[in-house]
Structure 1
Amino acid sequence: MEISRVLHDTELLSNIRQGIELNDMIRFIYKDHFQSLSWYVMNNSGSREDAEDIFQEVVVNFIDLVQKDKFRGDSSVKTFLFSLNRFTWLNELKRRGRAKLREEKFEKGQDRVDLDTSEYIAGRESKAMLQQLVGELGDDCRKILLLFYYENLSMKEILEQTHYENEQVVRNKKYKCLKRLEAMINEKPFLKQTLINLLNG
């Protein structure tokens, strides 16, 4: 179904909560909100590619929060998405700043996937389990996630180190890997705090 009419927040949230026509709901969100959200990223030290990556994460997290009844429409969808977008991008900028300093802080060979979509809270055991889960995703996912989150490489740089056809394929693969990791974490309740419910800030 192609949505050509105005979709009110209540209907959008209801459809997402019930899993009705999710692809159409995502297209509607993109059509109505991508321009303003991407403008914020690109006017705050980000590129078009950054804006697309952040928007993709924001939409995934927004749907997750709605389906878990953690966003019930107390504010408008537009306002909430903007806040989520801003929070995600500012966290990404902080992560990039830390990435320049942390090489000497971590012992050589220590693998850490820092999914810094909100405050990172975990003890050593949780971190070890998270690393194990990343390993269970397979070599391709493990490599992409480590290169992106630990080595802080761009999609273009990751493409040069992998066998994929283009940057969009890499971006799609990263997205699928994150969704698989999320599903695995959801099966282990004691690990959920490691990622703080994906942007539930």
Structure 2
Amino acid sequence: MNRIEALKQGDPSITRMEYETNREGFYAFMRKLGAAEDSLPDRYQDAFIILLENIRKGRLDQLEARLSTYLFAIGKYSYFNSKKQQDWIPLDENSEVRLSWEPYANSLPEGFTEKLEQQFRLLGRKCQEILKAFYYTGLKLDEIVSSMGYENKETVKSQKSRCLQQLKKQMRS
């Protein structure tokens, strides 16, 4: 039985081993991103729980990256979401995507922000997720592959390009 299957079955020894093996590397990675030292245990616990949930739901059955890569991507995604949260304005009360226009406020045409937010909401869920992960969260293509279950980097690149083109087309209309 491989590690993912063992984790899916809830094997406590494998779960403990994975938890302990990846902790210090995760902490070091998060320190490089600028996460506060006192937040590291909670961030790690949350990321590890998400990892286990995704394994149990079958989302990692075909994972080509290492488990640690996926775990670190979860941490990075979570960190950037929480770090930028206070500076971002919500698209609407039901949206998870938030946009920050503060630095560009003087150079954007009037009504641009509202139109972009409206057009973004019209995109499909997958397009919203991939554009959010890449542009708002700052995930790299490899991280998106492992965290969102895409087949490979080229698939993500193509999908991101199609989504961006669709959003640009909608903005022109």
TM-score range, shorter chain: 0.3 to 0.5
Structure number with bigger Rg: 2
Q: Tell me the TM-score normalized by structure 1.
A: 0.42
Q: Tell me the TM-score normalized by structure 2.
A: 0.48
Higher helix share: 2
